[in-house]
Structure 1
Amino acid sequence: MPVPPSPASEDASADESLWLRAFKDVLELDDLTEDSDFFQRGGYSLLIPQLISRYEALAGWRPPARLVFEFGSPRELEREMAARREATGTASS
């Protein structure tokens, strides 16, 4: 599986992950947090391609859609991607 690059975005605030920004954009909700579950907050399988595309636009990398089914919150997704970067030695300093 491809390894995600380290997240970097001029648009994301220091307190908001790229996943959280993508969740907010796709679900059109401003009250989401890093622990909000995509499916519990109104997401469904047909929105996942939009979520992945939005994340790709923010991060410059397209993660596999199945990650959203396995890790439903922005925090969980960020942790999983950081773990994958660390496991392959591509973590940023």
Structure 2
Amino acid sequence: MILFSKRNLHYSDYKWSAYPHNDPHVYGKPDATPFDKEEGNEMVYLINRLMILWDYRFANTGNKIEKLIHDQLPADISAQEDVQTWVKTNLKF
């Protein structure tokens, strides 16, 4: 289920790479796979996974997650699962 898509992104400075089917960067559950916050496909994927995991259903929540990651994610946090933990700790409504 897609809750958040490229058209929902607030920022437009992402790069857009092609990924093969089932690539862990954009498929499956967040794990130890490296996360690139400058890659649009990875950002959309992670936002969707977190929204599904935490049962968020509105695009504006996805925008809050995007802004948090885009603007504040520390450089030393680079694995998808670590980004997930950091977002959960730092997302405020």
TM-score, with normalisation over the residues of structure 1? Answer: 0.38
Of structures 1 and 2, the one with the larger relative CO (CA 8 A, separation 6+) is: 1
TM-score, with normalisation over the residues of structure 2? Answer: 0.38
